[in-house]
Amino acid sequence: MNAIERRRNELRAYTPPLTRTAEEVEAFWQPRLAAAARRPLNVRRERTDAELFGDTAVYRVTYDAHDGTAIGAWFIVPPSAAGQPHPCVVLYPGYSTDRGYPERHAKWLLAGCCVFAVDARGQGGETGNGLTSGSGQARGWMTQGLLDPEGGYYAALLLDAVRAVEAAAEMPEVDAARVASAGGSQGGGLALAAAALGRRVCAVAADIPNLCHLDYAVMHSTGSVSEVADYVSRHPERLDEVLERLSYYDMMNLAYRIEVPVLMSVGWKDPVCPPETVYAAYNRLTVPKTICDYPFLGHQVPEYQGRETLLFLRERFRVLRAMK
């Protein structure tokens, strides 16, 4: 057995103890999900850039988050979707980025999929952030209201992920039974969260996902979770309270709620989403699942993985269509 095989075996056996029980997870999330469900989505859309994309329909969409924040998105319909509902991929952005320009998502249109690409509130896109906070925070967004009773930014971001799928399913061109969630890094974590906390996702493609094994990530990640480490460094007396709150957003603890097939990828040299964090969540999944290891890559998604994702979702969409 060579070193790579040994490392793979170590990772696939890595199952750190859960930091929150299922009963505690349900007690935290059920009232928040119920309250969010009572808030209308109020989806608005307007066609744009028709002269640039020809027969491809591009819509600028906004919908209301649970707190009234207007979330921005693109909804893109391939020409082949005329007259019949098509599968849709909801795409979540990486940390501090945005949904981009519509042409960023062309590969999905080539595959015959509608696209619903969303912003993350307050980050790099056009979407604001209506949250208030009763306490200070470190740089960035991750610690905004972290210890507030309603959960602050993390809780809002995960609820936003669920509502994005619900908004996509409302589009008349979309087959609501074939809506998948996808993204990389923060987007990968949100893709998992959309399936864990919602019930409208049919498959998940999560590349190098964040929001996994967060107690470990606070110690080791150089990415967005390091903001939490900065916060605790300023307020060491709050460490236990911070770790308790993070545990409710941890995909390792929420994995039991995912009921659809999952494709994940992981870079073994990733300093932002270390492989231990990714595998801690992956190894807790009890659904059909596949993980693609990249022993020599860091925090990046290779082109090869993009093709694997297309093949994975195409097959899932095909199976669901055949079941109708």
User: Residue 208 contacts by C-beta under 8 Å, 6 or more apart in sequence?
Assistant: 184, 185, 188, 265, 266, 267, 270, 272, 273, 278, 299, 300, 301
CA distance 259 to 274: 25
Catalytic residue selected from 181, 185, 221, 247:
185
Catalytic residue selected from 98, 119, 207, 270:
270
CA distance 272 to 174: 34
Query: For this structure, is 105 an active site residue?
Result: no
Find the angle CA(294)-CA(296)-CA(299) to the nearest 5 degrees.
Answer: 70
Rounded alpha-carbon distances, angstroms, from residue 165 to 42, 178, 201: 14, 11, 7
Structure tokens at 115: 């696209």
CA distance 64 to 72: 9
Q: Which residues make beta-bridge pairs with 73?
A: 61, 118
Query: For this structure, is 299 an active site residue?
Result: yes
Q: Radius of gyration over alpha carbons of the chain, in Å?
A: 19
Catalytic site positions? 185, 270, 299
